[in-house]
């Protein structure tokens, strides 16, 4: 198993930046997992944001964040990051970190086995 804890959320003005972090812990080697970021806005379904393969060799993004957000990981530190630039009010949501041990389709939330508790990101206009 792996436990995930997100941090770095907050309130930022449109056009600003935030960096989210996700710390992993547990007995299983962190490098066994593909990692993803999802978000959920009030009244909306959880949606895919970005994901990174176990060795960092493959990254994918939703069209809504491509070119503005960057996902990265440090396996030695058991950390995943989401650098968010040029933030927009529509990026406001709770952001979740998730881990996939089966190397499934990175875009789908059902592929992920473990989830963090989420961190709130609010972008004001």
What's the mean pLDDT in 62-77? 97
According to the model, what pLDDT value does residue 104 have?
Answer: 83
Among 124, 109, 105, which residue's Cα sits nearest to residue 37?
109
Quick check: 15 pLDDT over 90? Answer: yes
Other CB atoms closer than 10 Å to residue 125's CB: what's the count? 9
Non-local CB neighbours of 41 within 8 Å, separated by 6+ positions: 90, 92, 93, 94
- For the segment 87-102, the average pLDDT, to the nearest whole number, is 96
Per-residue pLDDT tens digits for 38-54: 999 999 999 999 999 99
Q: Which stretch of 10-14, 19-23, 81-85, 104-108 has the lowest confidence by average pLDDT?
A: 104-108
């Amino acid at each position: 198993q792996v436990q995930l804890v997100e941090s770095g959320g907050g309130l930022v003005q449109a056009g600003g930046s935030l960096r989210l972090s996700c710390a992993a812990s547990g007995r299983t080697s962190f490098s066994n997992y593909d990692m993803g970021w999802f978000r959920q806005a009030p009244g909306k379904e959880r949606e895919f944001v970005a994901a990174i393969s176990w060795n960092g060799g493959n990254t994918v993004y939703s069209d809504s964040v491509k070119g503005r957000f960057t996902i990265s990981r440090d396996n030695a530190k058991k950390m995943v990051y989401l650098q968010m630039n040029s933030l927009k009010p529509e990026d406001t949501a709770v952001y979740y970190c998730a881990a996939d041990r089966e190397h499934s389709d990175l875009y789908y939330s059902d592929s992920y086995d473990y989830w963090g508790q989420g961190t709130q990101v609010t972008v004001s206009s």
